[in-house]
Chain A
Amino acid sequence: MKPERPAFVAYPNRRSMVVVIAAMAPLVSLILAALVVHPAAPLVLRIISALIAAPIVVWMVLSLILALQRRPLLVIDAAGVTWSRWSDRPIPWNALEHWQRRRYINSDFVTIWLKDPAAYRPGPLQRFQAWGNRGLGFGHLTLSGGGMDRSFTEMAQAFADFAPKPPLPDDPRLARRLAAARARNGG
């Protein structure tokens, strides 16, 4: 950890939230107008289209809530990680089993495995998302750079600076090389 560095504090990126709402609103309007409420549409098609529109509406509402949020979205400091979309409760570094930076379909993520996931339970939507992420081989908690006013690179750097380093591997040669690389990078 680099104690001299300031905490990483990211707020929601209001402009990108507005873009999500503005791009999705016509799609939802068209689905509603042409399928859900249209008098000529068959009942089955109305139900299917309503089911298709529902997650888009949920996404829009969540974007609106984030756009109006005034408190930080993500704080990474010496104490741990506080991700307001997951919970208002900070996750201390000693609760982490390990973390990893991963790339999946051209997007970067930081994924975290917790020692006791039951101790840091999120809300129902995040629980559902975390369940899907676990199916893809990610950890209990997965952060992307999306929706923040800071970049993914800055977030990953904050993890690298504040999170405890993973233990060195058993292979002595590999451990020596890893330790040397860490020393070179100042950590």
Chain B
Amino acid sequence: MTERDLLDWRGIGMGYVILICIAGGVGMAVLAPPRWGNWLQKEVAALILVALYLLWLVLKRPLRWAAEGWAGKDRGRHEGMKNLAVILMCAISAAFCVAAFPLALRYSWPAS
């Protein structure tokens, strides 16, 4: 893996970490049982985010080894994997953007 690959993957990884954080926050707002108080929801959301981040820390090295093993010295495969990761990120991002408005209407403020 070249220095350029590492820089690219660091950027792509950071993008996914941001998406995971957003997903964690939204998921908690949507899935939390209504009987839970506001503070309990926030604490569990924070714990889930920490768990997701730890999972990312555990997974990123094996993922890198797998990518290196599969692509080897084939530049086309390296670039293809990066492009695929970015396309997947764009798809997830677009889905979030579309879902944000109905989710916010339903969950962000209590109905008066």
Contact = CB atoms under 8 A, between A and B. Distances in A.
Given A26-B93, A26-B100, A27-B22, A33 B108 contact: yes
A153 interface: yes
Chain B interface SS verdict (over half): helix
Contacts of A20: 15
Interface in A1-33: 13, 15-16, 18-27, 29-30, 32-33
Interface residues of B, number: 32
A67 to B, nearest CB: 12
Interface of B: 3-4, 7-8, 11-12, 14-15, 18-19, 22, 26, 82-83, 86, 89-90, 92-94, 96-97, 100-101, 103-105, 108-112
B28 to A, nearest CB: 13
28 contacts: A15-B82, A15-B86, A16-B11, A19-B15, A19-B86, A19-B89, A21-B93, A22-B15, A22-B86, A23-B19, A23-B89, A24-B18, A25-B93, A25-B94, A26-B19, A26-B100, A30-B22, A33-B100, A33-B101, A33-B105, A34-B100, A35-B108, A38-B104, A38-B105, A40-B110, A40-B111, A41-B108, A145-B7
A128 B109 CA distance: 37
Contacts of B15: 19-20, 22-23
Interface of A: 13, 15-16, 18-27, 29-30, 32-35, 38, 40-41, 145, 151, 153
B3 to A, nearest CB: 5
